[in-house]
Amino acid sequence: MKIHEYQAKELFRKYKIAVPEGRVITDPAQAKAAAAKLDSLPLVVKAQIHAGGRGKGGGVKLCATPAEVEEAARRIIGMTLVTRQTGNQGRVVKKALIEKGLEISRELYLAMLVDRKNAGIMIMASSAGGINIEETAAKTPEKIISININPLAGIQAYQCRQAAFGLNLAGPVFKQFSTMLPRLYRLFVECDCSLLEINPLVISKDGRLSALDAKLDIDSNSLFRHPDLASFYDENEVDPLEAKAASYKLNYINLGGTIGNMVNGAGLAMATMDIIKQAGAEPANFLDVGGGASTEMVENGFKIILADKNVKGILINIFGGILRCDVLAEGVVQAAGKIGVKVPLVVRMAGTNAEKGRRILAESGLNLITATDLGDAARKIATI
């Protein structure tokens, strides 16, 4: 689960990691009061969306006067911000962070991530931080250093020094960095993060180190033990169909293709997406209705697939085990009755109560195409 910059900075404050002082607003009318409270100039107005590259897209504005702050807030809140991470459709900005501006002397890059290859946590750092880090990574990867932390041993003092030397730090900043890095590591582990990125980590003209930007990704599977972090969830930032699916407790991912599919079991769902592609079409989604799905779950899943405007046809592939084929069929018929299905349906069913399931579908009056096996199903749905 991604969280907003201002939420990540709240966590940073808790772990005593220096961040600029700021206030979040949801309405441009609140800008004046926020600026007055901060009582400092310049101020920075920053769009809060779950995507980077905001600076280049016009979502970050350095303001010299309170009037400029108001103007920037009016422009930013409500704008559709397009960055290299949002896709062409962009993201509508609902909140802005107003922060005390810093006089920047150096911009560094610092990140931590779960490194599967080394089964540990990796620190990445570069003295070439700022808005062009992607270019640095592509053209001069040697400017990015990486350090592997053994999760059993935790971060060691020598590794902090190694990172600090790699960033060419010296004197008081070296010290600040060596104190900050273990705190960040603790945050990373305690909050079950999968990614932490500070770009830029800045050294201000007065020699202080602070996190000017903050990006955190928290492992969604850990949220049951972090109710405080779970409250950071922002439905506005999630694909609307995925948000709806999450509220139904369905495992659904929108993939942008045209062939919707409903499958029981994640492995079978992956195989189904493969054969759809093999047959020359693109899957519109991943949807695992699960082993013990009820009629209601199937109905909800079906509703979500049908709500996707790109869907031209639906492939239902069920291997009846714990989920009986007749239960699935009932769910499909109920959902279809409520919403109306205008696209062709190809059904392949095998296993428990498959005959009964097919009968329910056949008697439903739905426009159905039955398939004898998986390959046949894929070919039929790809040529509709």
Reply yes or no on whether 71 is catalytic: no
The distance of closest approach from Cβ of residue 47 to Mn ion in the complex, given in angstroms and rounded to an integer, is 12
Residues in the chain: 384
By CB under 6 A, is residue 22 in contact with ligand GDP?
no
By CB under 6 A, is residue 62 in contact with ligand GDP?
yes
- Interactions with ligand GDP, residue window 154-213 (CB under 6 A): 199-200, 212-213
- Listing DSSP states for 132-194 in one string gives THHHHHHH-GGGEEEEEE-TTT---HHHHHHHHHHTT--HHHHHHHHHHHHHHHHHHHHTTEE
One of 4, 54, 106, 380 touching ligand GDP (CB under 6 A): 54
Reply yes or no on whether 197 is catalytic: yes
* Three-state secondary-structure class, residue 369: strand
C-alpha–C-alpha distance, residues 7 and 5, integer Å:
5
Q: Which two tokens stand for residue 72?
A: 């920037």
Q: Which two tokens stand for residue 247?
A: 């509220």
Binding window for ligand GDP (CB under 6 A); candidates: 98-106, 184-192, 344-352, 365-373: 98-106
Comparing CB distances to ligand GDP, the nearer of 5 and 330 is: 5
Comparing CB distances to ligand GDP, the nearer of 53 and 66 is: 53
By CB under 6 A, is residue 308 in contact with ligand GDP?
no
From the candidates 109, 185, 252, 299, which is the catalytic residue? 109
The distance of closest approach from Cβ of residue 80 to Mn ion in the complex, given in angstroms and rounded to an integer, is 20
Q: Provide the CA 28 distance to its chain's centre, in angstroms.
A: 26
By CB under 6 A, is residue 102 in contact with ligand GDP?
yes
Cα-Cα-Cα-Cα dihedral sign, residues 123, 129, 135, 136: negative
C-alpha–C-alpha distance, residues 89 and 237, integer Å:
13
The distance of closest approach from Cβ of residue 100 to ligand GDP in the complex, given in angstroms and rounded to an integer, is 7
Binding to ligand GDP by CB under 6 A, coded x per residue (else -) over 257-296, reads: ----------------------------------------
Non-local CB neighbours of 153 within 8 Å, separated by 6+ positions = none
Cα dist from 2 to 14, 52, 188, 195, whole Å:
18, 12, 14, 9
The distance of closest approach from Cβ of residue 64 to ligand GDP in the complex, given in angstroms and rounded to an integer, is 11
288 binds, among ligand GDP, Mn ion, none (CB under 5 to 8 A by kind): none
By CB under 6 A, is residue 104 in contact with ligand GDP?
yes
The distance of closest approach from Cβ of residue 211 to Mn ion in the complex, given in angstroms and rounded to an integer, is 10
Angle at 204 between CA 201 and CA 205, to 5 degrees: 155
Residues annotated as catalytic (active site), given as ranges: 109, 197
Residues at the interface with ligand GDP (CB under 6 A): 44, 46, 52-55, 60, 62, 101-102, 104, 107, 130-131, 199-200, 212-213
